[in-house]
Amino acid sequence: MYFYDGRSYGDFFNMGEYSRMGYEPVRKKISIFDTTLRDGEQTPGVSFSMQEKYEIAMKLNNAGVNIIEAGFPAVSIDEFKTVKHINYDIENTCSLARCNKNDIDRVIESNSRIIHLFIATSDIHMQYKLKMSRDQVFDKIIESVEYAKSHGLKVIFSPEDATRSDMDFMKKIITSIDVETVNFPDTIGIMNPMSMYYFIKKIKEFTDKKISVHCHNDFGMATANTLAGIMAGAEEAQVTINGIGERAGNASLEEVVSSIYGFSDSYTDIKMEKLYDLSRYVSSASGIIPQKNKAITGENAFSHEAGIHVQGIINNPKTYEAINPEIFGARRKIVIGKHSGKAAVKYILENKGIYKTDDEINNILTIIKNENNKTIDDEYLLQVVKNE
Ligand code: KIV
Ligand code: ZN
């Protein structure tokens, strides 16, 4: 398999014989719908400025994202203006709206071409939040889809809290509307990969509409559930950069895209080498720094400290790396600390043009190891070398 720029999949992914087993292999393009600017901004405490939103939208567009959810225009005047500003320069955007005329009008006025309409369909949401009956919700959906379409909008429809909604009710809705895509949100993140697979398969029994999945991370399953949805037949994934979003967040774009390549025969339009920079930008604009051990974009994702690992990495990075970080525009790091061996010290020094004998390296290592529990940065290492 090759990436869009002709680079070979095998040069970057070091998977094993069993990595792709247990599912029916299908080769298809998975569309990536990014909602960093909408669900991502719903992360408690996060608010992007207009300039930051515009910058993120541009970066998402340059990274090959298929649909960018620019925002929720009915939320505020500023949000409306920002969405309009983004829509002016970027074509493949979409805006969120509840199933009511006012929200839909804001989307139309913001010059969006695609509307993401949503309304809750689970009994618990209808009873306690919407205070509406199933029939009332159904009528709202029909009315709203018709209204949006009559204004030339393409429609993505989400039955909110889909994974707790009655399947027959969803069937009635989905088979009654003519929309581009139906997106199934696991709104409170209560699925696991097996149940998600089953859920999407069930939906595919009664529709051949394009299916998208939107998974939250309350049990830490968002990426796995998104992948399971794709393996069951979904053709689009709703994701955010760094997995930011409500509560424990959404499925992360960088993890989902990597998993599509790592575990399936499918592919995306994403330019993987843009992802590291995108992650760093979103992290600084949102103030949400990915946890150090987060896959792909965490600071430690491509760092190696233990002596045995470093020796392996120096001989052949495929020994301890599932994915070559260069594919994301990132670099591997050899870190010196309590678990380091001679190879790491030698490697770092030689990369700086400093050549030492084995005895000298041993002495340096002894000093470092006495620095119990600390990660030794380059500056400190050079100080030790100087003193030695
Ligand atoms: O999680 C959710 O249900 C949502 C919908 C608005 C799609 O974000
Ligand atoms: Zn969501």
- Please tell me the number of Cα atoms within 13 Å of 39 on its side-chain side: 31
Q: Say if residue 266 is in the same domain as residue 308.
A: no
Confidence of residue 381 (pLDDT cuts 50, 70, 90): confident
Number of domains in the chain: 2
**What is the position in ligand 1's atom list of the atom closest to the CA of 158?**
7
Residue of 160, 163, 170 with the most ligand 1 atoms within 8 Å of its CB, for mutation: 160
Residue 305 has which token pair? 């400290």
So what's the pLDDT on residue 118? 98
Confidence band for 374, pLDDT divided at 50, 70 and 90: low
Count the Cβ atoms, other than its own, within 10 Å of residue 274: 17
Q: In this structure, are 253 and 371 located in the same domain?
A: no
pLDDT score of 388? 74
CATH at residue 333 = 1.10.238
Residue nearest to atom 1 of ligand 1 (CA): 187
Q: Residue 349 has which token pair?
A: 């020094």
Please work out whether the CB of residue 250 comes within 6 Å of at least one atom of ligand 1: no
User: In Å, how far from its chain's centre is CA 239?
Assistant: 4
Enclosing domain of residue 41: 26-286
Instruction: State the Cα–Cα distance between residues 103 and 74, nearest whole angstrom.
Output: 5
Tell me whether residue 258 is in a domain.
yes
Question: Smallest Cα–Cα separation from 121: which of 106, 105, 104, 140?
Answer: 140
Residues found in the chain: 388
Whether the Cβ atoms of residue 46 and residue 287 lie closer than 8 Å to each other: yes
Going from the Cα of 216 to the center of ligand 1, the distance in angstroms, rounded, reads 9
One-letter amino acid at 10 equals: G
Q: What gap in Å lies between CA 368 and CA 388, rounded to an integer? A: 11
Give yes or no for residue 10 having a pLDDT over 80. Answer: no
Q: What 8-state DSSP symbol labels residue 113? A: S
Q: Which residues surround ligand 2, an ion (CB under 5 A)?
A: 39
Least confident of 203-212, 224-233, 355-364: 355-364
Nearest atom (ligand 1) to Cα of 42: 8
| Position 106 in a domain | yes
Residue 24 banded pLDDT, cuts 50, 70, 90: confident
How far is the CA of 195 from the CAs of 158, 167, 200, 270, 356, in angstroms? Answer: 19, 14, 9, 27, 57
Same domain, 114 and 158: yes
Q: Does the beta carbon of 187 sit less than 6 angstroms from any atom of ligand 1?
A: yes
* 180 Cα to the center of ligand 1, angstroms: 17
For 215-258, write each residue's pLDDT tens digit.
Answer: 999 999 999 999 999 999 999 999 999 999 999 999 999 999 99
Lowest-confidence pick of 169-183, 199-213, 304-318, 372-386: 372-386
Q: What is the whole-number distance in angstroms between the Cα of residue 13 and the centre of ligand 2?
A: 30
Burial profile 140-153: b = 16 or more Cβ within 10 angstroms, e = fewer: bbeebbebbbeeeb
Residue 269 belongs to a domain: yes
Q: List the structure tokens of 157.
A: 């429809």
Q: Is 358 in the same domain as 246?
A: no
In a domain, residue 180? The reply is yes
Ligand 1 atom with least separation from CA of 183: 7
Kindly tell me if the per-residue pLDDT of 26 is higher than 90. Answer: no
Q: Is the CB of 199 under 6 A from ligand 1?
A: no
Best residue among 116, 165, 184, 187 to mutate for probing ligand 1's pocket (most ligand atoms within 8 Å of CB) is 187
Cα-based distances in Å from 110 to 67, 95, 106, 173: 16, 9, 6, 27
What is the tens place of the pLDDT at every residue in 83-128? 999 999 999 999 999 999 999 999 999 999 999 999 999 999 999 9
Q: What is the dihedral of CA 265, 268, 271, 272, to 10 degrees?
A: -50
Q: How far is the CA of 59 from the centre of ligand 1 (A)?
A: 23
Best residue for ligand 1 mutational test, from 158, 161, 191 (most atoms within 8 Å of Cβ): 158
Q: 224, 255, 286: which is the final residue of a domain?
A: 286
Q: Verify that 170 and 315 share a domain, yes or no.
A: no
Q: 231 and 369: one domain?
A: no
In this structure, are 174 and 204 located in the same domain?
Answer: yes
Looking at the fold, whether 235 and 347 belong to one and the same domain comes out as no
Residues 74 and 173 in one domain: yes
Question: Is there a single domain that holds both residue 141 and residue 272?
Answer: yes
Share of the chain above pLDDT 90, in %: 80
pLDDT level of residue 380 (50, 70, 90 thresholds): confident
Residues 308 and 276 in one domain: no
Nearest-CA residue for atom 5 of ligand 1: 160
pLDDT single digits (tens) 275-302: 999 999 999 999 999 999 999 999 999 9
| 233 plus 344 within the same structural domain | no
